[in-house]
Amino acid sequence: MSPVEALRRPLQEDLSGFVALLRRLQVPHRVSEERGAQVLWVPSQPLAEQVRALYLSYPQGAAEEQIPTPARPSRPGLVAQLRVSWMTSAVLLLTLAATLLSQFGKSHAVLHWLTFQDYSIQGGYFIPLTDSLKAGEWWRLFTPILVHFHWLHLAMNGLWYWELGRRIEYRHGGLALLGLTLLFGLLSNFAQFWFGDPSLFGGLSGVLYGLLGYCWIFQLLAPTPAYQLPRGVLAMMLIWLLVCLSGVIDTLGLGAIANAAHVGGLLAGCAAGLIGGALARLRR
């Protein structure tokens, strides 16, 4: 489904209040900058017409309870949201499939094809990465992000990817989200491989910290409604990173944490956000 242009306003106009209203009403949208204007996109033509009507009455935004029910855009269902966030949905579906096929890492017949390094159960050793790459197994550089070892691990990472991934997809499009996901996955996997002990690691956490860092720095340089994270989200994620780095999680026996992947993903995301935000600021 192609997005539909609902509004086109000058760059100097502050749309933050109206966009905040759309978020409270749970209206899927994204804002882009094109040819010296802000363009607000929505999934369908009927929704675009409702948004235009809402803008005429509340261009600066308003509290949700102040808007009469007939004037509120109808909230799209789950299927409509999945269509708008098609790349976010595709990555999550692929993650779910890989995790279930590997039986949360218990099926070694499947898991050994998805790990960064191949391994031998009988010999109890890891096969050098260079040997796998020479054999053409380049997918190993990315596939660890798909594997999760516990249902809670999968649920938490999935929820955060849905939250952050949709924002980037709304702002830059699905292909940009895929590119950032692969980039942060590659760099976070390499960081864990390089700085951690040989081990089986996986999960979207490194990518999530990359997306978080991207939104954080981009928002500092070129503020956009899409990257206005809820209060406390950034602090909570950074505090959790410090808790994991402290070793408390390992000491409590709650499982090993791929700390190098988290830090590597965050640094990569901040660097990408610096570049993207600087370019957006120059265009403005």
Q: Catalytic amino acids?
A: 205, 262
**Helical (H) or strand (E) element with 243:** helix 233-246
Residue 268 contacts residue 208 (beta carbons within 8 Å): no
Distances (CA, A) of 36 to 2, 182, 216: 22, 30, 24
Buried b (16+ CB within 10 A) or exposed e, 253-273: eeeebbbbbbbbbbbbbbebb
Radius of gyration for the alpha carbons in the chain, expressed in angstroms and rounded: 21
Residue 208 contacts residue 157 (beta carbons within 8 Å): yes
* Bridge partners, residue 120, by sequence: 125
- Angle (CA) 36-88-112 rounded to 5° is 140
| H-type alpha helices, 124-204 | 129-134, 151-172, 174-195
Counts of helices then strands in the chain (DSSP H, E): 12, 5
- Tokens read off for 275: 């570049």
